[in-house]
Structure 1
């Protein structure tokens, strides 16, 4: 079997658009680098911010559904994996949840009402 491009070290398989698809894929990936780096660089600085992030980002995909139509059940799969920022968003939620767990495990300083006054 001969390939139409003998100078290529590998056969053209997998990308239906050929080289145009490879170029578009490269442009798409490079365009998403900055937002991904920004999402990964967000630091959790307080419990209020961590609680807000945990409330904002759901733990499971909210779009996954089972719809019953009479005796049939139609399953709509989770479409969150299509989101190009899915892994970064879930990592941000995990960092916020870890911050809240760490803050809850630390002993809290006594409040001013609990400190006995000195005689």
Structure 2
């Protein structure tokens, strides 16, 4: 029960973050990956043996971090007029 309330608290805290500093937004865009970094394809001599699917969707905070990254990208593009293609 306490884990669920802690998760809701973290989700609300992440959703409430607003950007007023482009350096903070740039930093978050650099450290939060654009796609799930855990997907792997295991190969042997150019032959694919098996693929490990991404498990990011199972992480409850993953969606919040992706939305935070999107808010940072939107801030940089709309408010600062910065080209955000380097973060994609």
Q: What's the TM-score once normalised by structure 2's chain length?
A: 0.80
Of structures 1 and 2, the one scoring higher in RCO (CA 8 A, sep 6+) is: 2
Provide the aligned C-alpha RMSD in A: 1.5
Larger strand share, 1 or 2: 2
Gap regions ≥5 residues in structure 1: 1-26, 106-119
Aligned to 1:104: 81
* Bigger CA radius of gyration: 1
Question: Structure 2 stretches of 5 or more lacking a match?
Answer: 83-88
Distance 1:83 1:36 in 2: 12
Task: Select the residue among 75, 80, 87 that pairs with 2:51.
Answer: 75
Query: Runs of 4+ in structure 1 displaced over 2 angstroms?
Result: 28-31, 69-73
1:34 aligns with 2:9: yes
* 1:30 positional shift: 2.5
More helix by share: 2
TM-score (structure 1 length as normaliser):
0.61
Tell me how many residue pairs correspond in the alignment.
Answer: 79
Q: Find the counterpart in structure 1 of residue 71 from structure 2.
A: 95
